[in-house]
Amino acid sequence: MERRQNPQQQRNPRRNPPPPSSSSHSSNHRSRYRPPNRAGGDARAHHRGDSYLDSRDAAAGDQPRSVVRPMPLHASEAATRSSIGGHDQDREDERDCRELASVVGTCPHMCPVGEMAQRERLRDLAVFERLHGNPAKTSPKLAVKKFCRTISTKHGQSSDIRPFSVLGSTLDYLMSLMNSAAEPFETVHDFIFDRTRSIRQDLSMQNIVDKRVIHMYEKMVNFHVISHHKLRLRSSGPDSFNISSLHHLNMEQLAKVLTSLYNLYDLNRDHNSVVHKNEPEYRSLYVLLCLNSESLPEGERLSLWFRRVPSPVIKSKEMSFARRILRYFRMGNYSRFFSTIAAEASYLQYCALEPYIDKVRALAVLCINNGGYKLHPYPMAHLSNLLMMEESEVESFCNACGLETSLDEQGNKVLPTKQPAFNHPKAGYGEYGFSGLENICRGREAEENV
């Protein structure tokens, strides 16, 4: 404050008459306050990187925005704040975008002309963007604007930003690539992941948050959820390490897109609080993704999350399904867990909860092994029905759990109980199907969701 520079003030260090009981004689009462070094992390420093930071603070603060990083809360989060930057960069982008007065984009193509030319020159074209496979040539029908990490909003021109209608058709084009069999799925995923992020960036910069955008975000959620399923299928091959980190990053991004979608639903709710048509299903996905509270370390605990879900959504069929699945999972009721999924899950819901299916199967095998009578080995045929698996797969699953199977007198396969060597199968141990999956997929085609 400028008054401190006032010479009159400086003659008189204390601005108030000392109170009678004052015993403090700190000599640095005029120096700037410095927070003490704290072992567990400085509360202020942590907050600086936080998304809820007042943008004024950041501008006036000591550190340039792009360098600000929150302190990792625990090791797994530190690991995910990899070189890619993840969370914090997105929040800073959002902040940048909000501060820029709403621009209206005018770029008529999926990719701005300047970027197309530059990437042709640098031979920085993704497989899908190459004209006749030529790594140095693309076309307006193929090139899609990349996500730009270090976007400087001051230099962002409206001719580089795509307007809403172009963004819509760009998204539809990207979605059409999802079933492309020409490339391995990781390549498809990577491309769509990046390009849809760029779409969200353009939407943010133009501050488009009305109803029109909801359907676009829903499609992007579809992409991430289906990737959640498809990437998992591929995580037991030679590339499994890379794919599992892709899977993890996908999960992070999925959580973010879902949160944005929920904000859009809230923002666009009519006063008679009618919910959007697809809102119940998309809300239910969060529950199914978080059955196990550790799966999204930064995610809100479900107990807290439910508090803010609108009542019509809670009472919906889709949310009721999700809540029952949650109950069966938490209680360990494997019987109902599988039968309910087979009977009621939509394709998206199935993809969201798929990682838990094998966990529950392992729990079932564990309980049966521990609690089953030694002289009554458990029939594998029955087990396969219970766990919604093919018989051949059940056998290999039990083996993955460290358990042996055998044959009874009639030659039927059985699982002897009270085996001492149970272990939980390692992650990525294999892909086991789900017996009801064809019905679920058929249901999806009928819905014509995407």
Partner 1 sequence: MAAYLSMGEAHRRITDYLGRFSDAVSSQDVASLKHILSLSSNSASLLSLADALNLLQDANRLIKQSDRFSQFAEIVAPLFRCIQNYRLGNLVDAYPAYEKAANAFIQEFRNWDSAWALEALYVIAYEIRVLAERADRELSANGKSPEKLKAAGSFLMKVFGVLAGKGPKRVGALYVTCQLFKVYFKLGTVHLCRSVIRSIETARIFDFEEFPQRDKVTYMYYTGRLEVYNENFTAADQKLSYALAHCNPHSEANIRMILKYLIPVKLSIGILPTDWLLEKYNLVEYRNIVQALKRGDLRLLRSALEAHEDRFLRSGVYLVLEKLELQVYQRLLKKIYIIQKQKDPSKAHQMKLEVIIKALRWLGIDMDLDEVECIVAILIHKNLVKGYFAHKSKVVVLSKQDPFPKLMGKPVNA
Q: How far is the CB of 39 from partner 1 (least distance, A)?
A: 5
Q: How far is the CB of 282 from partner 1 (least distance, A)?
A: 18
Taking the least distance from each CB to partner 1, the nearer of 169 and 335 is 335
Subset of residues 217 to 276 that bind partner 1, contact rule: CB under 8 A: 267
Are 368 and 376 within 8 A, CB to CB?
no
- Nearer Cβ to partner 1 (54/172): 54
> CA nearest 290: which of 335, 331, 330, 261?
330
- Shortest approach of partner 1 to residue 305 CB, angstroms? 8
CB 206 to partner 1: min, Å = 15
* Of 100, 177, 163, 110, residue with least CA distance to 140: 110
Q: Is 172 in the site for partner 1 (CB under 8 A)?
A: no
Q: From its phi and psi, is residue 292 left (phi > 0), alpha (psi between -120 and 50) or beta?
A: beta
Residues in the chain: 450
Question: Residue 13 Cβ, how far from partner 1 at the closest point, in Å?
Answer: 9
Task: Tell me which amino acid residue 314 is.
Answer: I
Alpha carbons 259 and 247: distance in angstroms, whole number = 18
Q: Contact 202/167 with Cβ under 8 angstroms?
A: yes
Considering only residues 124-163, where is the footprint of partner 1 by CB under 8 A?
none
Contact positions with partner 1 (CB under 8 A) in 304-333? 304-309, 311, 314, 326-327, 330-333
Rounded distance between C-alpha atoms, residue 245 and residue 233, angstroms: 14
Neighbours of 320 (CB within 10 A): 14
Binding-site size for partner 1 (CB under 8 A) equals: 71
How is residue 339 written in tokens?
A: 């039968």
Q: CB of 43: closest distance to partner 1 in angstroms?
A: 4
Question: Nearer to partner 1 by C-beta: 5 or 22?
Answer: 22
Q: Where are the alpha helices (DSSP H) in 7-81?
A: 7-11, 43-48, 55-60, 75-80
> Distance of alpha carbon 168 from its chain centroid, rounded?
22
Distance CA(239)–CA(259), nearest Å, equals 30
Which residue among 62, 303, 420, 426 contacts partner 1 (CB under 8 A)? 303
Q: Tell which positions 273-302 bind partner 1, by CB under 8 A.
A: 293, 298, 300-302
Nearer to partner 1, 14 or 141 (CB): 14
Task: Work out how close the CB of 70 gets to partner 1 at its nearest, in angstroms, rounded to a whole number.
Answer: 9
Cα(45)–Cα(383) distance, rounded to whole angstroms?
54
Draw the binding track, 403-442, toward partner 1 (x: CB under 8 A; -: no contact): ----------------------------------------
CB 327 within 8 A of CB 425: no
Shortest distance, CB of residue 130 to partner 1, whole angstroms? 41
Least distance CB 159 / partner 1 (angstroms): 28
β-partners of residue 175 are: none
Binding mask 350-389 for partner 1 (x = CB under 8 A): --------------x-xxx-xxxx-xx-xx--x---x---
Q: Which of 100, 92, 215, 196 lies closest to 145 in space, CA to CA?
A: 196
- Of the two residues 102 and 335, which places its CB atom closer to partner 1 in the complex? 335
Task: Pick from 42, 183, 194, 390 the residue near partner 1 by CB under 8 A.
Answer: 42
Q: Select 20 or 64, whichever has its Cβ closest to partner 1.
A: 20
> What is the crossing angle of helices 86-99 and 240-267, to 10°?
30
CB 404 within 8 A of CB 414: no
Cα–Cα–Cα angle for 89, 95, 96, nearest 5°?
90
Closest CA to 235 of 218, 258, 251: 251
CB-nearer residue toward partner 1: 225 or 414: 414
**Stretch 15-34 residues interacting with partner 1 (CB under 8 A):** 15-19, 21-22, 24, 26, 29-30, 33
Among 11, 44, 132, 155, binds partner 1 (CB under 8 A): 44
CB of 297 to partner 1, least distance (A): 9
Nearer to partner 1, 1 or 181 (CB): 1
Residue 328 vs 432, nearer CB to partner 1: 328
Within 53-112, which residues bind partner 1 (CB under 8 A)? Answer: 53-54, 57, 73
Query: Of these, 11, 12, 27, 36, which contacts partner 1 (CB under 8 A)?
Result: 36
In whole angstroms, give the CA distance from residue 368 to residue 415.
Answer: 9
Rounded to a whole number of angstroms, the CA Rg of the chain reads: 28
Closer residue to partner 1 in complex, CB, 34/155: 34
Are the C-beta atoms of residues 405 and 380 closer than 8 Å to each other?
A: yes
Least distance (Å) between residue 311 CB and partner 1: 7
Q: How far is CA 352 from the centre of its chain?
A: 11
Q: Which of residues 182-221 bind partner 1 (CB under 8 A)?
A: 209
